[in-house]
Amino acid sequence: VVLSLRTFSTDQKAKDPYDNIPDSILSITQRKIYKQDGHPLSTLIEKIEGFFGQGQISDLHIPGEKFKVFSDFPPLVKVKECFDDLGIPEDHVSRRITDTYYKSRDTCLRPHTSVHQIPLMRAGNNAFICVGDVYRKDTVDKTHYPAFHQMEGVRTYDLKTLGVGNVAEAKLIAERDLKQVLENLARLVFGDVEMRWIDAYFPFTEPSIELEIFYNNEWLEVLGCGVIHDKVMTRAGKDITNEVGWAFGLGLERWAMKLFDISDIRLFWSQDPRFITQFKQGHITKFKPYSRFPTCYKDLAFWVPPHFNENEFFQIVRHVSGDLAETVECIDKFTHPKTGRESQCFRINYRHMDRSLTNEEVDQFQVKLRQLVASELQCELR
């Protein structure tokens, strides 16, 4: 069964055939929670921006020099800029329609803020940070949500500023500076934590590394970074015989979840006043969980079609009920003794973050779910 991975053409007008962005995601692009006063993401961003806006952030840092801040670029970007120009190959998994939200063949919701590196360097910026909402198709659970936030940072230098005669040496200095800057940043935000650097791979940096910190008794990967790849420098209009640079990208929710003790990533999007009123702009305080609204579960059983893939079912559940489906689990499997057909029964737990769901509401999801499962998976319901 080949499931149409586009947004099940139920309630839409003529859409671009490449468009796989559901309305629920489109509306999220309007929320701008990272700019909301008092929101933990906003406080964290302010803190990091403060770091890059003042003081000596590394030995190489020129006193008074500030990183320019960009935080208003819309998330809809060119596919070429967010993949091809950064050296991400055509067949890379992140480019599949199951992983990225495409608006058309040439445009998508940015899956990372790295998309802005080249255009910003090209425009003449040599020290900047860039913040924004990013989007990746993903399972939904406590630590994954299809929308989250990243901060990108870039710094470039010429050989004269570094006082060295060749590029190889300059790259070593840039890497040392990168590590120093990010260790200082991590210490400012997380306190006096143990840190370690791990080799990594990104097509747009060489070498590529990741920073891990030891926080609350566990090693936590906090960012990816590296020395900007020559091909990227060249595309940004830099003279690679005279200039080098570094770049990093960090996931803000990961940091904020640890700092504010927010154990479920979906809470960042909550509109329940019991969430936002706990926080005050500029203050990092621990979140106190409030009692959650009850779950309501419904079961659905069907004769599974040949080559059935559970993910296809999960995707339909997600399509019908968005975030409200908290968990989906197979609770029973049964093979008919005569026909040999297999039946599976799934239990879907529905829960709203901000209010109680009514039984009628949930029944409506279930009606739609039954229709779509029957038509998209071409299977017989029980």
Per DSSP, the residues of 236-259 read TT--TTTEEEEEEEEEHHHHHHHH
Binding-site member from 83, 102, 202, 302 for ligand PHE (CB under 6 A): 202
Q: Does 112 bind ligand PHE (CB under 6 A)?
A: yes
CB of 152 to ligand PHE, least distance (A): 6
- Contacting residue, 79, 181, 233, 247, with ligand PHE by CB under 6 A: 247
CA 196, CA 184: separation in Å to the nearest integer?
Answer: 13
Nearest residue to ligand PHE, by Cβ distance, number only: 249
Output the CA–CA distances (angstroms, integers) from residue 182 to 17, 116, 307, in the order listed: 42, 20, 47
Among 114, 125, 156, 344, binds ligand PHE (CB under 6 A): 114
Phi then psi for residue 6, to 5 deg, are: -75, 180
Residue 22 binds ligand PHE, judged by CB under 6 A = no
Question: Pick from 198, 195, 153, 132: which is nearest to 57 by CA?
Answer: 153
Q: How far apart are CA 111 and CA 21, in angstroms?
A: 13
Under the binding rule (CB under 6 A), the answer on residue 224 touching ligand PHE is yes
For the CB of residue 84, give the shortest distance to ligand PHE in the complex, in Å.
15
Nearest distance from C-beta of residue 259 to ligand PHE, angstroms: 20
The answer to the question of residue 229 lying near ligand PHE (CB under 6 A) is no
Structure-token match 């029944």, residue found: 363
Per CB under 6 A, the list member of 67, 101, 248, 350 interacting with ligand PHE is 248
Reduced 3-state DSSP string for 144-202: ECCEEEEEEEEEEEEHHHHCCCCHHHHHHHHHHHHHHHHHHHHHHHHCCCEEEEEEEEE
Instruction: Select the residue interacting with ligand PHE from 130, 174, 225, 324 (CB under 6 A).
Output: 225
Q: Which is nearer to ligand PHE, 78 or 298 (CB)?
A: 78
| 148 near ligand PHE, rule: CB under 6 A | no
Binding status of residue 249 toward ligand PHE by CB under 6 A:
yes
Positions touching ligand PHE (CB under 6 A) are 112, 114, 152, 202, 205, 224-226, 247-249
